[in-house]
Amino acid sequence: MSKKVAYYGIFAALSVLMGYVEAMIPVPLPIPGIKLGLSNVIVLLALYVMGTKEAFFISVIRVFISALLFRGFLGFWYSVAGAFLSYGIMVLAKKSGKMSIIGVSVLGGIFHNLGQIVVACLIIGRTVVFYLVPVLMVSGVVTGFAIGIVAGYCTQYMQNRI
């Protein structure tokens, strides 16, 4: 039990930290919404190594803490939509058993972006932002793929240790 609590703490802290590290990496494209999604590595890891429920709580903690620390109120809604949509999709994708961690990560990346676009729409009150959908889908595939590979390597190490 106490071991589990410690892992919760480590994972939550890591995912918040990843969000911070990511904020320091400049994005070479002038398109809002494109980002690496480093903290998704941690959520994926939690999903594969710890379990569905655990990954959910770590997601919740991450969203709240990083909203409080870095993003503010509006940023919070973007985070919530992105995080939970991508979490839900990743759980389903993993449950289906048809794809590896890379496919799960790609889907998570895409739906993270889609969730944020929907919120952007609601906040701005216009559907203009939908023109970003194709761009963000492609960026979701690319970053999701990279993140999936990283998370895949990590799970290999973690699996025997938890």
Partner 1 sequence: MKKWDVIIVLAVLAVAGSLYFSGLLRADTPGGVAVVYVDGVEITRLSLLKDTEYRVETEHGYNVVKVEDGKAEIIDADCRDKICTKHKAISLKNESIICLPHKVVVEIEGGNENTVDAVVQ
Question: According to the binding rule CB under 8 A, does residue 108 interact with partner 1?
Answer: no
One-character DSSP codes across 94-111: HHH-SS-HHHHHHHHHHH
Kindly list the distances between the CA atom of residue 67 and the CA atoms of 10, 64, 129, 131, in Å, as whole numbers in the listed order.
Answer: 18, 5, 22, 26
Residue 135 makes contact with partner 1 by CB under 8 A: yes
CB of 26 to partner 1, least distance (A): 18
Does 128 bind partner 1 (CB under 8 A)? Our answer is yes
- Our finding on whether 61 is near partner 1 (CB under 8 A) is no
Q: Does 133 bind partner 1 (CB under 8 A)?
A: yes
Instruction: Determine whether 76 is exposed, middle or buried from the number of CB atoms within 10 Å of its CB (0-12, 13-18, 19+).
Output: middle
Q: Which residues are at the interface with partner 1 (CB under 8 A)?
A: 98-100, 102-103, 106-107, 110, 128, 130-131, 133-135, 137-138, 140-141, 145
